[in-house]
A and B are shown apart, each in its own frame.
Chain A
C-alpha cells in the first residue's frame, strides 16, 4: 500500500501543479483480540515511539445536568491509578523523559504517550499508560481539588471576552444539543459532580470495543500488536453508545450582544456545518480556503484586514465532527468599528454563497492544498494524529493517498452546491462580546431575534 499521490497529467497541466509525488506512510490496520481497532506506521528513522488511544468519550456525551464529567474523567486518568499515586505517575514518566499528553473535544477523548524506543524506557512508559487507562482511581481528594481548580478556571473564563464569546456561540448555534455545552462543563454542574459520576462514565465509555489505538515509530509489527493488545485487554466493559444525537439547525438567525470593558469587540458568526464523513466535506473544505481558511490570500483576510486594516485576525472554518460541528467566522476589532466590520464580513459571506468561487480562486486553492500536502505528513506527530482521526471516524485506510485527488476533483459547481446546502446565512448566530456600549444597557446582555428564511 506504499501508494503515491496521483495527480493526473491533465489536471497537472490545467492547474499548473508541479509534478509532486510524495509517498504517504504505509498504514497497517488490524483489530486487537480485545476488540480495539489498531492503526500502525512502522518507522525506524528516530529512536522514539508515539502511541495514542482514542475513545468516544468527549463532551458531546455529557448531559447538561452533569456537564464536565467527560472532561474531568479525561483529566483525572493520570492523577492516580491502582498502585500508583499521581506523583508516582508523574515521576515515573519524568525519570525516563517520557511525555503523557492528550486532547479532548466534543467527540473524542485522546490519551497519548511519547517515549524513547529503547527497551527500558519504552516498557516503563507503556506500563504507566496501561495502568492509567485500565485502573484509574479518580481519588476523592484529587477530584475535590481538580473541581476547585476547574471552577476557578471557569470563573476566570467568564471574564475573558474570547471565552465568553465561545460559550455563548456554542449555545446559540447548537441550542440544547450537547455540542453546545461548554466542553469543560459549567460551574454549577461541575460543583455537583461526584466520584461515582466519573466511575460510571469511565466504565461505560472507555471500553475496548470502541477504542482506537494509533502507533508510529521504532517498533516491529509484532511489537505493535502486543502493545496494542496490552493497552486494551483490561479496559472496562464499555457499552455506552458511541453515537452523538443528531444536530438540529436553528430555524432563524440570532444576534447576541454582551457588554465587556475590553477595547475590542470579539465577533463570532456561524451555524452547524458539516460532519466528518459527509460527501460535502471536500467541496466545503476547498471552498472555505477561498472564503477564510487560506491565510493571507482568503477573501475575508483581503476584505477585512488587507483592504481596510480592521482586524489582525479574521478567519472562517468548519469543525468536522461525528455530527455537523460548527462552521465559524471570527474576528476581533476596535469597538467603534465593530458594526462596520460585521457588515464587511456579512457581505463577503453572502457574496461567497450567492456567487461561489471563480475558476482562478479554485485553482489557487487546489494548488495550495495539493502542493502543500507533504507538509501535512512531515512528522511522526502529524501522522499519529491522522491515524487517530482515520480510525476514530472510520475513514478509509486510503484517506491520505486519496486526499489530493479528492481535492483535485472538486469543481466550482460542487462548492456552490455544498455551501448552499450547508451554510445558510439566514439562520446564523452572531455573538458580539464587547459590543459598542451605547447599544447595550450596562450590565445586561441583549438578544435580538432576527427574521430569516427557514432552511
Chain B
C-alpha cells in the first residue's frame, strides 16, 4: 500500500495509443480540480483514481513518512462516513480499492462495475475535505506503518541497500528520505503533523481526478461537478524547487545484512524529462536501459548471466518521468565464486563497450519493437491506462504529451544512445553500493576469494 515500483515499467510509461487519444476528455472544474476521462468500453468496469501532487519529497526534516501515514489515515473515516465504512461500502459494491504513495505523489483508487461511479465519487470527494483525524486512530495506524516498514525495508536487505543508496546519492534533494519514513520519525510523528499535512495539500486545486473504463465522459464531468465541484480550493504553499548539485567524485558504501548472496548496485545521476518536446537525453537513456535490460536477449542477461556466467542475475533501470532528478542504475548478483569486485569490473566493461562502440541497429530496432508492441498490450488494462495519465499529470507533465514522447522515443538514434552513455555513465556521477551478506547467526560469512569459480 505504498509505492509502485516503476523500475521495470520504465519503457511502458510512455505508451498511450495514438488512436486512443480521441477517447480522452478533460475539464477543469471551477475549484481547480482537473478531471480526465479515458473511455474504454471493452468491459463493464471502471477505475477512479485521485492523484494529489504531494509525495514524500514535499516533507520536512523530522516528519518523514507523513505523506504515507496520511494515506493510511485517509481510510479512517470522515464526519459523515464513520471509521471502516469507506471500505465496507466499496466492498459491498463489489469494488477493489487501495492507495499508494511515492516520492512525487499520493494516489487513491477504486475499481468497480461501471454503475458504481457515483458511490466512488461520493466517498472519495468526501474524504478530500472532511477527514477526521483522531489521536487514538493515528497512534494505532503509525504502529501498522512501523510494521510495514519492518516488513518492507528493515528485514529486506535489498530494500535496505536501496534506501541507503538514495540517502547517499541525494545530498540536497529530498529524495534522500525514504517514502515510508525513517523509523525514528515514525516514532515521533503526531496527529498534529497529519492534520497539517492534510490541510496543506489535500485540496481540489492540488489534485487530478482520472476516470477510465466503460463510462461516458459528459456523465463523469457532471458527477465530478456535483461531488468534487463543491469543495473549496485552497491557497497552496509555494513549492521549493530542489536541485541536486554535481556529485564531483565517486561514492562507495557497504551494507551488512543477513543474506547469502551479495548485491552490487551502480547508480549514476541522470536527468528526467522536463520538456517532452525539446529534451533528447531522457529518451536516449530509456533506450539505453532497454538495450541493457529491456528484453530477454538484452545485453546484461545475455553477456553476464548466460555467456560469461559472472552473474547469477543482472539488470538495469531508468525512469525518465519524475518530479526530481533520478538515477540510471545497473546491478547484479555475482555467481558463486565470483567476487563483487570481479562483477563490478564486468559491468564496467559493458559500460565501456557501450561508450566505445555504441549500440547496433538490431538492438535499437528490438527496443523499439517492444515499445510498439507494449503500446497495444497496455490497452488490455484499464487500470494501467489511468495510471499512466495520473502519473504524468502529477509530476508536472501533461498526458497530451504522451504521443509525442512515444514518437521521440521511436526517433532515438544509435548515436544519441552512445552519447548519452558517454555523458551519464562516468565515475564522478557514480554511487557504488554493495550488500555484504552476513550469516544469520551474526558471524561473518566466509570471504569470497573469487577467481577460481567452477563453471
Residues of A at the B interface (CB closer than 8 Å) are 16, 18, 20, 22-23, 45-48, 86-87, 89-91, 93-100, 114-116, 121, 144-145, 148-149, 151-153, 155-156, 158-161, 259-264, 294-297, 302, 305-313, 332-334, 364, 367-375, 377-381, 442-443
- Bound-complex Cα distance A93 to B373 (A): 11
Judge whether B144 and A309 touch: CB under 8 Å.
yes
- Bound-complex Cα distance A264 to B455 (A): 38
Max chain A CB contacts within 10 Å: which of B143, B298, B380?
Answer: B380
Judge whether A263 and B376 touch: CB under 8 Å.
no
Given contacts A371-B92, A379-B43, contact A48 B84 (CB under 8 A): no
Quick one: closest B residue to A47, CB to CB?
A: B376
Judge whether A309 and B140 touch: CB under 8 Å.
yes
Supply 9 A–B pairs (Cβ within 8 Å), ascending by A: A20-B113, A90-B295, A93-B297, A94-B298, A302-B84, A332-B147, A371-B93, A372-B112, A375-B94
Q: Which residues of B, 255-290, contact A by the 8 Å Cβ criterion? A: 258-261
**Which label, helix, strand, loop or mixed, suits the secondary structure of the A interface?**
mixed
Residues of B at the A interface (CB closer than 8 Å) are 1, 42-45, 75, 84, 87-88, 91-96, 111-116, 139-148, 150-151, 154-155, 258-261, 295-298, 302, 305-306, 309, 312-313, 333, 335-336, 362, 365-366, 369-374, 376-377, 379-382, 437, 440-442, 455
Quick one: closest A residue to B368, CB to CB?
A: A97
Shortest beta-carbon distance from B121 to chain A in Å: 16
Judge whether A90 and B440 touch: CB under 8 Å.
no
Judge whether B365 and A95 touch: CB under 8 Å.
yes
Judge whether A97 and B92 touch: CB under 8 Å.
no
Given contacts A87-B297, A159-B260, contact A375 B96 (CB under 8 A): yes
A86 cross-chain contacts in B, Cβ below 8 A: 306
A155 cross-chain contacts in B, Cβ below 8 A: 260-261
Quick one: closest A residue to B17, CB to CB?
A: A46
Given contacts A309-B141, A379-B43, contact A95 B91 (CB under 8 A): no
Judge whether B93 and A152 touch: CB under 8 Å.
no
- Bound-complex Cα distance A309 to B146 (A): 9
B147 cross-chain contacts in A, Cβ below 8 A: 264, 309-312, 332-334
- Bound-complex Cα distance A47 to B146 (A): 46
B148 cross-chain contacts in A, Cβ below 8 A: 312
Judge whether A260 and B440 touch: CB under 8 Å.
yes
Judge whether B44 and A374 touch: CB under 8 Å.
yes
Max chain B CB contacts within 10 Å: which of A95, A100, A259, A310?
Answer: A95
A442 cross-chain contacts in B, Cβ below 8 A: 441
B379 cross-chain contacts in A, Cβ below 8 A: 46
Judge whether B366 and A94 touch: CB under 8 Å.
yes
Quick one: closest A residue to B76, CB to CB?
A: A306
Shortest beta-carbon distance from A218 to chain B in Å: 10
B259 cross-chain contacts in A, Cβ below 8 A: 156, 159-160
Given contacts A18-B115, A370-B94, contact A263 B296 (CB under 8 A): no
Given contacts A90-B296, A377-B43, A379-B381, contact A152 B312 (CB under 8 A): yes
Which of B94, B115, B302, B333 is within 8 Å of A367, CB to CB? B94
Judge whether A94 and B382 touch: CB under 8 Å.
no
Given contacts A145-B309, A149-B312, A159-B260, contact A94 B380 (CB under 8 A): no
Shortest beta-carbon distance from A206 to chain B in Å: 22
B335 cross-chain contacts in A, Cβ below 8 A: 148-149, 152
Judge whether A364 and B92 touch: CB under 8 Å.
yes
Given contacts A372-B96, A375-B45, A381-B380, contact A295 B87 (CB under 8 A): yes
Contacts A46-B380, A115-B373 known; list 8 others, CB within 8 Å: A18-B93, A18-B113, A45-B42, A90-B296, A95-B366, A148-B312, A159-B437, A370-B94
Shortest beta-carbon distance from A192 to chain B in Å: 16
Given contacts A96-B369, A96-B373, A442-B441, contact A161 B297 (CB under 8 A): no
Judge whether A116 and B373 touch: CB under 8 Å.
yes
- Bound-complex Cα distance A442 to B443 (A): 12
Judge whether A332 and B151 touch: CB under 8 Å.
yes
